[in-house]
């Protein structure tokens, strides 16, 4: 899971929840058509649904990931990722609600459901073009840019916890999407998991802000 750098000085640490990264790769990262079918009565697939909020803001000119110490342009991926997480949290209900594309009728008539899998797009798990794709690796490569021991410890703790929280938020989003399809499930069950997923995103955004502060990057 989170990659740990050699410690320089002891410092107060950020509490972390251990989540094995290997578990992440046992879960599909794409929308589950079965989950959509269970929620809408079947007959529709992912491409026929759209987020009420319109999805993540479009990105232009995002620097590609490289190797070694990252440039300022590459580090800007973390800034854009943080801004997108704030957008998601500020528009949570709309972004986590999907309806049949083009449908103008009532909520129920348009097959609208709460679907937390959009979280994966914001956390960098849906596409290599997402700004937070391999964010943990980028953070590790940027650690050499930290200027003092105190910030190094804060950075190291935040980076380790970020990897755990990012995985937890992604897994919780996936579990949430199956809440209604599971025996005894329903929209109430989805909403309960959805709130847990939102809390994981809040904590991940806070950790990312610590990373940016330690790198002296203004958001």
How many CA within 13 A on the CB side of residue 154?
Answer: 17
**How does pLDDT run across 76-130, given as a tens digit for each residue?**
999 999 999 999 999 999 999 988 888 887 777 888 888 777 888 888 888 888 9
**How does pLDDT run across 147-169, given as a tens digit for each residue?**
999 999 999 999 999 988 766 65
Q: Would strands 49-51 and 113-114 be described as parallel, antiparallel, or unpaired? A: unpaired
Q: Which residues contact 122 (CB under 8 A, 6 or more apart)?
A: 56, 81, 84, 85, 88, 130, 132, 201
3-state secondary structure of 37: helix
Please state, in angstroms and rounded to a whole number, the distance separating the CA atoms of residues 48 and 164. 32
**How does pLDDT run across 30-55, given as a tens digit for each residue?**
333 434 443 444 444 456 788 888 87
Backbone φ and ψ for 114, nearest 5 degrees, come out as -80, 120
Q: Alpha helices, DSSP H only, in the chain?
A: 21-24, 33-40, 72-90, 92-95, 119-123, 135-142, 149-177, 187-214
How would you classify residue 28: left for phi > 0, otherwise alpha for psi between -120 and 50, otherwise beta? beta
Please state, in angstroms and rounded to a whole number, the distance separating the CA atoms of residues 117 and 32. 9
pTM: predicted TM-score of the whole model, two decimal places: 0.72
Q: What token pair was written down for 178?
A: 């199956």
């Amino acid at each position: 899971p989170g990659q740990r750098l050699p410690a320089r000085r002891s410092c107060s640490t950020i509490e972390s929840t251990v989540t094995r990264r290997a578990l992440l790769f046992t879960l599909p990262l794409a929308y589950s058509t079965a989950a959509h079918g269970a929620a809408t009565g079947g007959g529709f697939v992912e491409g026929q649904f759209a987020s009420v909020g319109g999805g993540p803001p479009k990105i232009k000119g995002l620097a590609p990931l490289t190797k070694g110490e990252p440039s300022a342009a590459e580090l800007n991926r973390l800034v854009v990722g943080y801004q997108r997480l704030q957008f998601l949290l500020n528009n949570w209900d709309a972004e986590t609600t999907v309806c049949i594309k083009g449908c103008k009728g009532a909520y129920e008539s348009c097959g609208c459901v709460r679907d937390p899998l959009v979280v994966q797009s914001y956390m960098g798990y849906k596409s290599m073009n997402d700004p937070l794709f391999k964010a943990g690796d980028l953070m590790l490569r940027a650690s050499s840019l930290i200027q003092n021991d105190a910030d190094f410890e804060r950075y190291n703790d935040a980076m380790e916890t970020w990897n755990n929280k990012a995985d937890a938020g992604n897994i919780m989003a996936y579990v949430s999407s199956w809440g209604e399809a599971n025996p005894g499930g329903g929209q109430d069950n989805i909403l309960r998991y959805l709130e847990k997923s939102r809390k994981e995103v809040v904590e991940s955004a806070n950790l990312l802000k610590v990373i940016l502060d330690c790198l002296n990057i203004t958001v």
